[in-house]
Structure formats: structure tokens, C-alpha cells
Structure 1
């Protein structure tokens, strides 16, 4: 997947490819956090149909049919919602769908929390919930509104992966390979122990809903992305072990001052910052906040 050229400390094509993947995965985890943590708005629809989202999905779409279909679905949706009346009607339908999935109103059809699928008795608080909380504590974050929102809500788990993914980008830019490996290993373990252990079941239940509008398609894409990202983490870790750690351990990313050789727009940080600024109704109920180390 990656390899080092003889360019040594220079930004090689392989390094650039790795950086784009790290950026795209951080963007998508943040997008899924916003999607499942806050109610839909016109601004969210603009983000879904925008170039930042299309480019992030495009990094992975060539390797996964579900992600490719989602990219096409969102691009068509953007064109279809050019008409203001149609757009407002669609946002209303998405709002109803969001409430049904994430608030369980008027009837709980699915539950967006890990413990429900893994506790054995459909409990919303179990050892699984506590294990997720312990994982958060290791990285000095906790839910902002605990106990109002369970630790293992899908929005919070996406937020956690987004935090670690962005930290991994920063470690890469600093060429702090030891920290990068630690972060990649943590994300791989969280995916194995938690995300991959329940999101497929959640997605399967959501797909049973009649007249899907937006969220069933995106939850299916989340399932596909998490699975693909897990393999991606393996590939990056292997590349680091076999190539970078041996040939480029101490080299700065873009020169002797250690600054990146690309702009924030080109390296994906600009897209992340734009997405980070998106505020949705009730998103504050599904966010992680720093704790005292």
C-alpha cells in the first residue's frame, strides 16, 4: 500500500498518500459523529453534498462498493435538493427519521448504543458501557452530558475515533512515529473490541425500516467504512514498521523546521476545520470533553 522512495526526508508520493488517508478517515469519523449526534439541518445537507465529503469518501470508494454507492447517492442528493421547496421537505423527512432512530419516538425501532446489542439482556448500562468509558478515560475524555447520554452511543464512539484519528494526523506531521503507532494501535483495539462488535447488528436493524430517507444508507456506509478502516490501520502500521521506522525515523516532514510541506487546504486540515465548525441541534448532548489527566 505504501513504500518509501530514495527521497529520504522529502515528502514522497507514498508519504503524501498516507497523509491523505489519515486525513480522510479523520474527516469521515467526525462526519459520522455529527450525523448521529445532532439533528439534520440545511447546513448538514450542504456538507453531505459538498466537495469535502465527496473527496473523503473518494479515498475509500475504489475499494468498497457500499462507500462508492454512498458517494454517488450524496452527489445525486445534492443535485435533487437544489430546489428550495424540495430541500425543506426532505430535511423534514430526515428529521422524522432521525427522531425515530436516535430518540425512539414514537416507537423505539432500534437502539443506537453498543450495550443493547452485546449485554445479552438488551441493557443500556452494562460492563460493555463501562469498558467504553474506561477506554475514553485512557485518553482523557468523557461524555459531556453523562449520564444523560450513554458512553457507548454511536455518536460518542464516532467522536472518540475522530479525536484519535486527528491526533494521529498531528503525530504524522511531526513524524512522531512512536506516538503514531500508539494511536493506531489504540484505534485498532477500539474497533475490534467495540465498533466491529455491534455496528453490523445496529446497521442490520436500521435496514429493516420502511421508506429509508437518509440515515439507513449512511449507517450502512459507516459499517462498511469501519470494516475497511480496520484493514487500513493494519496497512499503515505495517508500512511504518517495514519502511518508515527504518529509513526516516527522525526526519522532519517538510524541511529542517519540521513544518508540513503542504497547505492546510491541500492536506485536509481545512476540510476538518470546516466540518468541526458545523453545529447541529442537540449535538452538545453527544460530545466528548477533556478531563483532567
Structure 2
């Protein structure tokens, strides 16, 4: 397959990292008008013909609707707590923690494996307040930081470092994120009552799956430690 230029790879890695960071904010921050304003600015013009264009447009429409309603922020703050606060399954959903979704309880080998992944990458993702290391937002932020490091490596012409980042991203998606996030988002979307959180919970797993496909394409298009990119 024809190699892809380092400039394009850097741009793509930066875009992927920004997407992960943006999604993480939705699971980490109670909604506010300031947050929604920043979200709209980050989303920019949406092309529904592109991959995830429809899902992104739904999220943007929900944000615009919330900005136009005076009570929307309060209602969404309640919804945020109900869905992600781990109050009870009967009230909302299980908390967005990998170990809880995969094993039914927090902690154990799952948390140790996540912690080890962070340490091996020398990445300490910011955690939502009073939240554990396997919180969904923390795992998305880990990927965001890894993508940013990948982008910087491409910009510096350090192909080995960039491809190491790509391999790390792939491993974390395969061993962690894709093992629980699609299941969690699907079940939580069913109990979500607001268009914003329904859109967020629909977009997030699809973005992760698309990124996994992008990683395959990167590894196919860049010969091992080639000097021709």
C-alpha cells in the first residue's frame, strides 16, 4: 500500500486525539452553557457525508437545542448524575468504570491492568473528580494523550516513536476500551432520557471502533520504521 506522508499522519493523529478528549469531557463534566459553547466550537461545521457525520450532527443538534433552553443545563446536570454517578442501576446505570462493567465489581486484575498500561506509556490521564483510574473519561483521555504524542513524533520525523504510539493505542483499545465501552454505551443509551446523552452514548463507541480501523490502516500504510514517509 502506498505510504502516507508524515504531515498527514500527524494531522490525523491530532484530530483523533482531539476527538477522544472531546468525548471524555462529556463523561467527566456536568453540562454547562460554557461547556456546550466550547463543544460547538470544537465540533465545527459537520459534514454528514463523512464517517460519523450523522452521529456528530445529532450531538451538535442536541447541544444547540440545549443552548436555546434556559432550563436545559439543570435538567442535563440531573441526567449526568443519574447516568454516570453510579447511584443505582434501577435509577440510572452502572458507573462508567471498566472493572464494574466487565466483572460486576470495582477493582481487581482489571484495574491493575489499566494502571499498568498507564505506567508503561508514562501517561497519567487526568481523572474526573473522586473517580478511579478505569473511569471511561480517564481511558479516553489516555488515548487522547497517546494520539497527541503520536502526532508530535510524526512532526519530528521520529517514525519509530510514532509507530510505538500507534501500537500502544491499538493494544489499549483491544485489551480495554473495546472490551467494555460498546456494551456500556449501548445499555446506558437505552435509559438515557435526553437527546444530548443519547447522542454522546451513540457516538462514543462508534468513534472508538472507527479509530481502531484507522490504526489498522496506519500500520498497513507505513512500512516498519520506513524512512519514506
> What TM-score does the superposition give when structure 2 sets the normalisation length?
0.87
Find the counterpart in structure 2 of residue 62 from structure 1.
Answer: 50
Alignment equivalent of 2:201, drawn from 219, 241, 251: 219
Shift of 1:159: 1.0
Find the counterpart in structure 1 of residue 154 from structure 2.
Answer: 172
- Structure 2 Cα separation of the partners of residues 78 and 217 of structure 1: 10
Q: Is the 8 A contact 1:93 1:213 kept in 2?
A: no
Alignment equivalent of 2:215, drawn from 233, 237, 243: 233
Find the counterpart in structure 2 of residue 113 from structure 1.
Answer: 97
Alignment equivalent of 1:200, drawn from 161, 182, 190: 182
Who wins on radius of gyration, i.e. which is larger?
1
- Structure 1 Cα separation of the partners of residues 108 and 129 of structure 2: 13
Shift of 1:23: 1.7
Structure 1 residue runs without a partner (length 5+): 5-13, 249-293
Report how many aligned residue pairs link the two structures: 227
Change (3 A) 1:15 1:2: farther
Find the counterpart in structure 1 of residue 109 from structure 2.
Answer: 127
Q: Is the 8 A contact 1:97 1:213 kept in 2?
A: no
- Structure 2 Cα separation of the partners of residues 41 and 146 of structure 1: 16
Shift of 1:40: 1.1
Secondary structure in 2 matching 1:206: helix
Secondary structure in 2 matching 1:225: helix
Alpha-carbon deviations, 1:78-102, whole Å to 9, x = none?
A: 553564xx1x311122111110112
Shift of 1:203: 1.0
Find the counterpart in structure 1 of residue 24 from structure 2.
Answer: 33
Structure 2 residue runs without a partner (length 5+): none
- Structure 2 Cα separation of the partners of residues 233 and 2 of structure 1: 15
Shift of 1:133: 0.5
Shift of 1:16: 4.4
Q: Is the 8 A contact 2:27 2:136 kept in 1?
A: yes
> What TM-score does the superposition give when structure 1 sets the normalisation length?
0.69
- Give the superposed CA RMSD: 2.7
- Structure 1 Cα separation of the partners of residues 101 and 146 of structure 2: 25
Find the counterpart in structure 2 of residue 247 from structure 1.
Answer: 228
Alignment equivalent of 1:186, drawn from 168, 171, 182: 168
Secondary structure in 1 matching 2:222: helix
Q: Is the 8 A contact 1:32 1:222 kept in 2?
A: yes
Matched, 1:53 2:43: yes
Higher RCO by CA contacts (8 Å cutoff, separation 6 or greater): 1
